Amino acid sequence: MDASGQDVKTLAHVVRDLKSYALSEGFDDLAVSDCDVSRAAPKFKSWLDKGYAGDMGYLQSRFNLRESPELLVDGVKRVITLRMNYAATRDPSMKGLEFLNNSEKGFISQYALGRDYHKVLRRQLKKVAQRLQDLVGSSQQYRVFTDSAPIMEVEFAEKSGLGWRGKHTLLINRSIGSFFFLGEIFTDLELPVDEQQEGHCGSCTRCIDVCPTGAIVAPYELDARKCISYLTIELKGVIPEKYRGAIGNRIYGCDDCQVVCPWNKYAQQTAVTDFMSRDHLDGRELVELFEWSKEEFERLTEGSAIRRIGYDRWLRNIACALGNAPTTSEVLSALHSRAEYPSEMVREHIIWAIEQHEQRKSLIE
């Protein structure tokens, strides 16, 4: 018996059954950790104090929930973390770092090419949680999370042995790399915990070296204010001019640090059809994407994580990328066609983009 009077052997059988069920529901692995974050909380607080969170004020305002999981689920004792692979076949010109040679096309981070992962994971997590409820009875207290609440999910995943935190701060698994999502079930069951792995980054610094904006300021430390994923997704206002050139043709997120990671040579094709790349998003011409009306944007991004940035930020990002694209009549025509766009934020990026092309033309002349 454990401290709560539950049969440890029985609980071990519960975990095995739950893992088998999770695999049948599209997850790649399941592991259990305790809910102690005393090691991670001070590091996260230091990160916040440095201002690295940028405009993501919600990270600071809900810090107390991150350092105290029991405030989210009364009596929580364990965190069940599940991993789901999202790596999918995409347009060949957008694979690896090849997209850098196709600056007339818009690059979208691989995780956003399919259906919004929040919806997919939450649906499947609820099934696993219900399975757990069926196995142990209705007295269990639990709650599922899909990047939807202030929890330290990478910390829990690392503690459970699902991988280790890489120098780019993402979780890496030696069997499939890092192109996967994480979801959690908090429970008051004192389930047996899994063993944490050692890190396997060694002396490698490829993720740090490749970052276009130098956002990985030290191993395991990211300044989000410089990160292209933050600039194109989380930032609600104007993208600082000093980063616009480095953004290149990335219009939603950035995968560079993952693409160059040696462990991602083991990345496998996802079996989850919801994460398959949508043809109208992958490898599309920037001009074509920039010409979408608001109605087209909403229709073609329906069910996608991209929709959450809204139409104006979509145009802002593409205008920035068009400023880095080759100077062609099509590019210039597209930019000038929206020069009077109602949003001042969008207009600023369009004006900047036009100026980039004018400067290049003057240098040639």
pLDDT tens digits for range 278-291: 989 999 999 999 99
> For the chain, where are the E strands, in sequence order?
29-34, 78-85, 107-108, 142-145, 164-165, 171-172, 180-187, 216-218, 221-222, 250-252
Task: Out of 32-46, 140-154, 170-184, 190-204, pick the least confident.
Answer: 140-154
Q: Where are the domains of the chain?
A: 8-89+111-187, 206-269+277-364
Contact 147, 118 (CB under 8 A): yes
Residues near 272 by beta carbon (within 8 Å), at least 6 away in sequence: 26, 84, 85, 86, 114, 120
Residue 149's nearest CA partner among 37, 231, 229, 63 is 63
Residue where the block lists tokens 């850098």: 100
Residue tagged active-site, from 17, 34, 147, 188: 147
Query: For 91-111, what is each residue's pLDDT tens digit?
Result: 999 999 999 999 999 999 999
Task: Round the average pLDDT of the chain to a whole number and report it.
Answer: 94
User: Is the pLDDT at 1 greater than 60, yes or no?
Assistant: no
**First vs last C-alpha separation in the chain:** 82
Per-residue model confidence as pLDDT tens digits over 56-88: 998 988 899 899 999 999 999 999 999 999 999
147 is catalytic: yes
Which pLDDT band, with edges at 50, 70 and 90, does 2 fall under?
A: very low
**Is residue 3's pLDDT more than 70?**
no
For 217-272, give the DSSP string: EETTEE-GGG-HHIIIII--SPPPHHHHHHHTTEEE---HHHHT-GGGGG----S-
Q: Contact 129/142 with Cβ under 8 angstroms?
A: yes
3-state secondary structure of 186: strand
Q: What is the pTM of this model?
A: 0.94
